[in-house]
Structure 1
């Protein structure tokens, strides 16, 4: 997975969205203690930066040291390069001891993981009771009806052949991803619930975002330029006169025990969160 983003680490850092503050406020409300959070697959630290404003200490890990080079340096965030899979001894050495972490977050990365192994590691490091895991992904941005029509066609026709198979979990908004946990305490259903965020960007910003996709890199390696001149011209025509556009994010979230996922950026958020106890672990669902 780390290699998919190696060649566009700077574009990833420049163009990937920050996540809605409501997301972190909600997650933090489910962790009684705010001492230590672990952001897994942190990339260039988008989620870690927000966590650092709430949690006393944040451990932010990634299998790509190139991505970590572009992460914002903060006094209470420790960035750590880790292998894609870790033994229990490596987990304790590089991340934390057993039962010491309040929150584990996975932003736009859970679909890349060996999830059964990862979930066991999460259970090992999280506090019991009330340790939380929250994972999320974002899908396609929404700009305007005219732009969205052209962009969606570009995505389904030009881009789709170059995605890794794991992308299917994102395209499904994590609804069908294996996640063997229960709703958080205090919730009478699992959602989704909705809120809206937005960001201002010009077309160049938007194209940089596309260049940060792993599918864009894969296409380039196969000799295909997804943002060919004719494609960019189509985008310019429907972008319109305004230099900057408001990209709206209609965010849907769900609440789960030991579970979380978020869809965000310019059209929506899907996330779930979950409470870890010593007695409520379910068997893995396949």
Structure 2
């Protein structure tokens, strides 16, 4: 539906407990659990978490390589989709009109052609009250020392290579176009931030996460090394300032959730 694989950030290995809590929140807002669709599924992590909840899971991506290595489960159907797709192609290859209870998008909505994508979402979601849920996370929060070095690095060194879409992530999806109605029990579509991923990291893990980002890759492709020896030393000093080689990195999730009307 959107050509986002080459730009997608590396996924963290999320704790099942947190992910399942978020999906249970989505479950409580959907009238039925017959079918859901995970868009930009990548390696299928979200689809695999949805599989125990929904009878049928349709997981789409534009990258055949991603789908080749995606998690295989009996009730997940992986579907390769082109970056742009007509309603006729959508109905023939993915899902029929008003047939899906829930559409999910994990850390990818900001890359999509939103008007086209939302047209497709409104086509496949059951009416009334089919639910769309999209979430993202920002850079990991470590501690005061490391976060201060990163803030300077991001605002000075990283900034010239950051894609415009990342402003939507930095704004926690608050300003992203989301033309849906609030689900039952709330008066807005978010972003909601009660879910936090946690990952144990050492310094190498942290720097690998930075290197996996699209801005770093853009700089590298232009012949610019953002993690210079000087910058690496700053991160090293900050990381080791508390004497702990491994730290818990926190990734707050920002969730937008809404429903379609008739």
TM-score by length of 1: 0.81
Tell me the equivalent position of 1:231.
231
Q: CA deviation at 1:16?
A: 6.0
Tell me the equivalent position of 2:148.
149
CA contact (8 A) 1:98 1:124 kept: yes
1:276 aligns with 2:251: no
Q: Which runs of 5+ in 1 are unaligned?
A: 249-265, 279-286
CA contact (8 A) 1:36 1:57 kept: yes
Distance 1:79-1:189 versus aligned 2 partners, 3 A rule: closer
Tell me the equivalent position of 1:202.
202
Distance 1:189-1:127 versus aligned 2 partners, 3 A rule: closer
Distance 1:233-1:76 versus aligned 2 partners, 3 A rule: farther
Tell me the equivalent position of 1:258.
none
CA distance in 2, matches of 1:227, 1:91: 43
Deviation string for 1:167-225 (max 9, x for gaps)? Answer: 11111111111112221122245554534442212222222222221112211110112
Q: CA deviation at 1:86?
A: 0.6
Structure 1 stretches of 4+ moved >6 Å:
none
1:72 aligns with 2:71: yes
CA contact (8 A) 1:12 1:44 kept: no
TM-score by length of 2: 0.88
CA contact (8 A) 2:30 2:101 kept: yes
Tell me the equivalent position of 1:48.
47
Output aligned runs, 1:107-256, within 5 Å.
Answer: 107-190=106-189, 192=192, 194-240=194-240, 241-248=243-250
Q: CA deviation at 1:88?
A: 1.1
Deviation string for 1:40-96 (max 9, x for gaps)? Answer: 112222322211232122111112223333422222222222111111121112211
CA contact (8 A) 2:14 2:198 kept: no
CA contact (8 A) 1:4 1:217 kept: no
Q: CA deviation at 1:277?
A: 2.5
Aligned length: 255
CA distance in 1, matches of 2:133, 2:85: 20
Distance 1:244-1:75 versus aligned 2 partners, 3 A rule: farther
CA contact (8 A) 1:106 1:135 kept: yes
Q: Larger deviation: 184-193 or 223-232? A: 184-193
